[in-house]
Chains A and B, each alone.
Chain A
Amino acid sequence: MVLFLQQLINGLSVGSIYALIALGYTMVYGIIKLINFAHGEIMMAGAYFAFLIAVSTNLPFVAVMLISMVLAAVLGVVIERVAYKPLRNAPRISLLITAIGMSLFLQNLALVIFRADPKIMPTLIAKHPINIGPIQVGTVTLTTLVLSIIFMVILDVFVKKTKPGKAMRAVSEDKDAALLMGINVDKTISLTFAIGSALGALGGVLYGITYTQVYPTMGILPGLKAFIAAVLGGIGLIPGAVLGGFAVGMVETISKAYLPTQWTDAIVFGILIVVLLIKPTGILGKNEKEKV
């Protein structure tokens, strides 16, 4: 039982990183129906920002994290303005291809700037186990989990209670009607990219600290898993991304703990296929008929 609880916490910690990244996918999809494939690279950029700040200054972890998030938010907004905004009325496939192009561009840009060899993230959080009752949890695992939950709660309150949050929901509901109601759609879309990118960067910083390394292709696999998490939970829905992220992390960890490890990825992707066969809109998705 203790072992199971411990694995549960491991799963939650892995899942919380997926959930943070998945939030960026789902928010952007919700508002402009774009699967932003460059999101994994924003996560990578966030990790590099943290690495650069940590190496060149002596700032504490929280400051490093917040500055990286702000820088990634700026990067996200710039990408949106430069690459996606001019295509807002273009066919959706053009937008998707642009996103893939942006993803490859950022990856190769990082390769040129930082070279391919992994950089070692400085120890921002001292690594040692903490005892909570009978279970032992690592400091990094616990920090990851707590920070993710804090930011998810902040996001939830922001979207539900504040004016810009309401504007975001309105734009995702119906862009034209929102425009008629006097909402600044461009500003709202930029805001969505900023928030999504900041959360992705947080995921990247935590990923970099947990696995000690930062490298240009680090965004690919977590980005893909987070995208799966978003689809699994119901893409476009904020609670769906969180649920999907935790579900993917949990399935991954539990299958590693109780089955031969080589099966992990096959199981995660297998579950995705099964869920989508039964419920194509994802776990929390509503079955809506597409209007013609």
Chain B
Amino acid sequence: MKKISIIMAMLLLVMAALAGCSGSSDTAATTAAGETTAAAAGETIKLGVIGPLTGEYSMYGTSVEEGAKLAAEEINAAGGINGSMVEIVAYDSKGDKTEAVNAYNRLRDQDGIVGLIGGTFSGETLSIKEIAVGDNMPVLTPTATNGEVTLNAPNVFRACYTDPYQGSTAAVFAAENLGATKAAVLYNIEDPYSEGLAEAFNEKFSALGTVTNFEGYTANDSDFKAVLTKIAESDPDVIFLPDYVAKVGIILSQIQELGLDVVAIGGDGWDGIEVDYADVAEGDYFANHYANTDEAPIVQNFISAYEAKWGKTPSALAALAYDSTYIMAQAIEKAGSTDADAIVAQLAATDGDYVTGHITFDENGDPVKSISMIQVVGGKHVLAAKVSAE
């Protein structure tokens, strides 16, 4: 019995020390596990971020973390939320669903976050969703585009548009702006994001033209020459590739090597493609959340602040995370407390101009906004059109 109490005491000490390390001020050490209500002025308000910070897809998680931290810094410089400082606590999900749940539990129990800016991927957000609904945790995911994420979850919101909306918009853009009559679709059957976009595109484009091929591949595939040779035979005008840069880059390289005369279109997973694959993606289009060539002052201010802090051009994910952090902070400010119900009510009432456009939420918690179609030209983003699927 004595032993147990000693161990418990040591554990508590270690936990307090850990909390002290991660906190920016010594008051953070007093934040007890699970406590989300009492946060008097002067105490730190912690917001969680979950995303892949290492691994193949680390660029996405890192962007979200950096966007959120930039927003938090600006909010703190302007006096914080009702006098309280904001702190972003980011944990690595490695893009894995189980790791994401572990990260969420740690944020809730150990760090006592008030709200969550995350997860970054649809898959990981879906795995967190049910637990977050049970906890009534205010969740605003910057980047999870899968349709299911906000369904039957009054406390879950998102700053990006949905997969189906994005897929249909890409189809409308292909048919109406590019005048395509034949389209091929090549998607990752293991990924709900890729599949969601592919199906929405397929459905919409079938009404506007012909879908010649609807092909899938698995996450481990790296040879696409066989399936691309098959697609080339039906000579489509456009090929829809709804996947992330790491995979799209490989596919585009092989399209170039095989000499296929086809325009590729993608979703927001393509963001950042110009870094490593500018030459193979030249002239191709993708749906994105904002164009960094947009002249609006809010956009240009964000870009220059981000470049000054992180020394690189912000991706759309960073912009969404930046917006999400502001939306969440404003909701907490208006709620006047860290009470979850009050924050959720204020989130639902969001109505304002942000970097990624004017945002209001519909009854599901999905944003209502138009989509920027970006063309990759000379390694830069050029705004081709602003399109809406409706």
A residues near B258, Cβ cutoff 8 Å: 129, 136, 138
Size class of the contact patch on chain A: 35 or more
B358 CB within 8 Å of chain A: no
A residues near B218, Cβ cutoff 8 Å: 261-262, 264-265
CB interface residues, A 220-257, toward B, < 8 Å: 221, 252-254, 256-257
- A116-160 CB contact bits vs B (8 Å, 1 = yes)? 111010010001110000001011110000000000000000000
Is the CB–CB distance between B216 and A221 below 8 Å?
no
Q: Pick the residue among B59, B216, B246, B257 that contacts A261 (CB under 8 A).
A: B216
A13 CB within 8 Å of chain B: yes
List the one stretch of A79-87, A173-181, A210-218 in contact with chain B. A210-218
CB interface residues, B 223-241, toward A, < 8 Å: 223, 225-227, 229-230, 233
Is the CB–CB distance between A116 and B215 below 8 Å?
no
The CA-CA distance from A225 to B233 in the complex, in Å, is: 29
A128-B256, A128-B257 known; A213+B250 contact, CB < 8 A = yes
Q: How distant is A201 from chain B, measured CB to nearest CB, in Å?
A: 18
A residues near B257, Cβ cutoff 8 Å: 127-129, 138-141
Instruction: Name the residue of chain B whose CB is nearest to the CB of A3.
Output: B233
A195 CB within 8 Å of chain B: no
Instruction: Name the residue of chain A whose CB is nearest to the CB of B189.
Output: A262
Total A-B pairs in contact (CB under 8 Å)?
96
The CA-CA distance from A7 to B224 in the complex, in Å, is: 11
Which residue, of B230, B253, B277, has the highest number of chain A Cβ atoms within 10 A?
B253
Is the CB–CB distance between A7 and B226 below 8 Å?
yes
Is the CB–CB distance between B56 and A116 below 8 Å?
yes
- B265-304 CB contact bits vs A (8 Å, 1 = yes)? 0000000000011011000000000000000000000000
A11 CB within 8 Å of chain B: yes
A residues near B276, Cβ cutoff 8 Å: 120
The CA-CA distance from A79 to B290 in the complex, in Å, is: 51
Is the CB–CB distance between B216 and A116 below 8 Å?
no
The CA-CA distance from A211 to B252 in the complex, in Å, is: 10
A92 CB within 8 Å of chain B: no
A172 CB within 8 Å of chain B: no
Q: Pick the residue among A10, A13, A212 that contacts B249 (CB under 8 A).
A: A212
Instruction: Name the residue of chain A whose CB is nearest to the CB of B259.
Output: A129
A residues near B227, Cβ cutoff 8 Å: 256-257, 261
Instruction: Name the residue of chain A whose CB is nearest to the CB of B228.
Output: A10
Is the CB–CB distance between A256 and B226 below 8 Å?
yes
B217 CB within 8 Å of chain A: yes
Is the CB–CB distance between B225 and A141 below 8 Å?
yes
The CA-CA distance from A78 to B59 in the complex, in Å, is: 36
Is the CB–CB distance between B215 and A261 below 8 Å?
yes
The CA-CA distance from A261 to B254 in the complex, in Å, is: 17
Is the CB–CB distance between A221 and B226 below 8 Å?
no
Is the CB–CB distance between A253 and B226 below 8 Å?
yes
Q: Pick the residue among A3, A118, A128, A213 that contacts B229 (CB under 8 A).
A: A3
Is the CB–CB distance between A10 and B250 below 8 Å?
no
Chain A interface (Cβ < 8 Å from any Cβ of B): 3, 6-7, 10-11, 13-14, 115-118, 120, 123, 127-129, 136, 138-141, 210-213, 215, 221, 252-254, 256-257, 260-262, 264-265
Please list the 4 inter-chain residue pairs (A to B) with the smallest Cβ-Cβ separation, ordered nearest first. A129-B259, A138-B257, A256-B226, A10-B225
Mind listing 12 A-B residue pairs with CB under 8 Å?
A7-B226, A11-B226, A13-B225, A123-B279, A128-B256, A128-B257, A128-B259, A252-B223, A252-B226, A260-B216, A262-B217, A265-B220
